[in-house]
Amino acid sequence: MIRAHSQRLLQPYSGQVQIAESDQARALSMDGDLWEFQFIYANARGGQGSNSRQRGRFTRAAHIRHCDLARVIENPTTEEGEVDPRILELARFLLGVRLPFAAADRYEYWLLDPKDDSPLALIFSCVDASEMASFPKLTDWTALPAAVMPIETSEVERSRSYGPVNYRLERCVAERAGAKPRATWFTRRYNEGEAFPPFLVREDWESEEQQDLCQRYLHRQAPRLLMLHGVSLEDRRRMELAAKANALDVARFYPLYPEIADTDVMDKIRIEARLRMAAGETAYAMGRRDGVLYQ
């Protein structure tokens, strides 16, 4: 049987990875187009009385674009030989599914705000409660690197040799967490009584500079943040507007958006992206392996 779900790729947050997994292999995708197939070559199960499957070790086997899945199934022979049946099983499954898969990582490890112990920034998430103990007890929140997601700086910032926005926001989060930062696990239920930052880091900052850094970071990350599940339409709408500045990234990740708040805005962004791609432009991350770092 093949199981399918999605979960946030952390840390740093770089998207919502789609996962289709059998007992012997799995396929992962960051955009629903390029799928990375991996074999499970060492798999253990929990001890007596445990119904949780411990994660096996994985080795990368192949990369196949969605448009090529049918061809691989029809002609499962390559220059290297026959395509492995484990890949074919997953390829057949992927041809008939609808993306995005449901989000399953409801166990969340948050850095805390020392003022009231409320969630400040998300560090990890996982699907099974049994996995929580395997994560390191980190208290450092990490921003998506500037090499993967560059954020434009002003002339003043460049003249003063300020570092990238990404790392400056990291420092803001670390300073807010205090000299003795703490983090803890929460179980999300996605109901109105919960108060978690919708875009994985708090947006209320005391100084204008901190507020500006946070918003610039989130706005640049908007095409990836729109992959998140459980976001209100109001929050989704403001992030869709922010994503207009990065139309090519929106075009890449659009198949994995679970909801659209404003179809007119999104249609205009996608039209712009098609025109720019027709002119030969590509998204910054394309051609780089910003990858499937999921383990």
Segment 187-207, tens digit of pLDDT: 988 776 678 999 999 999 999
- Res 130: pLDDT: 94
pLDDT, tens digit, for every residue of 8-54?
999 899 999 999 999 899 999 999 999 999 998 764 444 333 344 44
Side chain identity at 74, as an amino acid letter? Answer: E
pLDDT, tens digit, for every residue of 80-89?
678 888 999 9
- Res 216: pLDDT: 96
- Res 292: pLDDT: 47
* H or E element that contains 144: none
Helix (H, G, I), strand (E, B) or coil at 107: strand
- Res 291: pLDDT: 47
Biggest CA pair distance of the chain = 63
pLDDT above 70 (res 219): yes
How is the chain split into domains, by residue range? Answer: 3-95, 107-278
- Res 284: pLDDT: 62
Give the predicted TM-score (pTM) of the model: 0.87
Other Cβ atoms less than 10 A from the Cβ of 269: the count is 23
pLDDT above 90 (res 251): yes
Other Cβ atoms less than 10 A from the Cβ of 251: the count is 20
Q: How confident is the model at residue 105 (pLDDT cuts 50, 70, 90)?
A: very high
- Res 42: pLDDT: 61
Distance in angstroms (rounded) separating the CA atoms of residues 159 and 168: 16
- Res 55: pLDDT: 54
Contact 294, 15 (CB under 8 A): no
Contact 59, 27 (CB under 8 A): no
Least confident of 33-42, 114-123, 208-217, 257-266: 33-42
Contact 269, 244 (CB under 8 A): yes
Q: What is the mean pLDDT of the chain?
A: 89
